Structure 1
């Protein structure tokens, strides 16, 4: 079974929205490091649509810094699975659909992998996978915002989990990375 790592940007009051993040060189290098250590990427539909609107073309854009181009190349090459009920409007290289909204196909996909799989963003999918006790590690990027945008992190989760702190470190001047392992 895959070791599923859930990486999520979160505001100080627990919201998750793509506009509420300090996305700088350290952030991109963190994401690249995480992907390098993983065999696959899993995304919810909304996060996939946000990513596929920018990243497929980023690898060849000369106006972007090298660290963004490297991340774009890694995102291009890694196998991607999207949990969705609709066909993909913008197919992206190495992408397949896992039928949603239930997570049976996602569970089956994860059971066939022995290494790391990363889930970026995707708060609704994160909640479903947390309730199914499939997340092994949480990596919260605590962003310096108080916000009313987006979903509340893990909103609606039904399963109580004890987490163990693995690491707390400053990612950049204003963002903290909090890594937790899910407990027994």
Structure 2
């Protein structure tokens, strides 16, 4: 059975906002490696649209190697998008889910293969409420955003997490690896 890994960036005050963090080459390299450890990644519509930011790097690379490497990795990994409004997607490596989230994830977890990644706040909340996440990787930036969407604001039940390990980056960000108990 494959593991479902929720991996997301947040600020010290728990805010998930792609503009609040301070990603650097080391963090881009980390996520490039993580993408290589998975068979697919799950997104909600909003996060999928945000990730389309990386598509132009394939044709017009950046001067920063770590960004280009990440763009190649995110392009390569298959993506399943959960949306009530999107009927199709343009990214060749993406498809729109044809089952509800619970059914799709239960089927995917039973298949052979590498880990399944989730990189979307809305899906992480839903999957936590369904008790389907096997590991959380929370990259916490040394920033207090003071406003924005809190990662765990809609969790329905108290959830105890067991810290597995941490990884500290030179820029001050720390990834906490947790397993739900």
TM-score by length of 2: 0.90
- SS of the residue corresponding to residue 7 of structure 2 reads strand
Residue deviations 1:36-95 (CA, integer Å, cap 9, x gap): 11111111111100011x111212323332221111111111111111111267511211
- Equivalent residues in 2 for 1:10-21, closer than 5 Å: 10-21=10-21
Q: State the alpha-carbon separation in 2 of the partners of residues 7 and 116 from structure 1.
A: 12
Cα displacement (A) at 1:8: 1.1
Is 1:151–2:160 an aligned residue pair?
Answer: no
Q: Distance in 2 between matches of 1:102 and 1:31?
A: 24
Q: CA deviation at 1:102?
A: 5.0
Total equivalences in the alignment: 181
Q: CA deviation at 1:100?
A: 7.4
Query: Aligned partners of 1:80 and 1:10: how far apart in 2?
Result: 22
- Unmatched runs of 5 consecutive residues or more in structure 2: none
The aligned counterpart of 1:4 is: 4
Deviates more, 1:18-27 or 1:153-162: 153-162
Partner Cα separation in structure 2 for residue 78 and residue 102 of structure 1: 19
- Quick one: distance in 2 between partners of 1:174 and 1:97? 36
Query: Is the aligned partner of 1:87 residue 2:53?
Result: no
Tell me how large the CA RMSD over aligned residues is: 1.9
Q: Does residue 40 of structure 1 match 2:40?
A: yes
> Could you tell me the TM-score, scaled by structure 1's length?
0.88
Conservation of the 8 A alpha-carbon contact between 2:165 and 2:177? yes
Runs of at least 4 residues off by over 4 Å: 99-102
- Superposition pairs for residues 57-96 of structure 1, below 5 Å? 57-87=56-86, 91-96=90-95
User: Which ranges of structure 1 fall in alignment gaps of 5 or more residues?
Assistant: none
Tell me which moved more, 164-173 or 103-112: 103-112
Please state whether the residue corresponding to 1:151 is helix, strand or coil.
Answer: coil
Report 1:118-133 matches (<5 A): 118-120=117-119, 122-133=120-131
**Distance (whole Å) between structure 1 residues aligned to residue 22 and residue 173 of structure 2:** 7
Contact 1:2 1:111 in 2 (8 A): yes
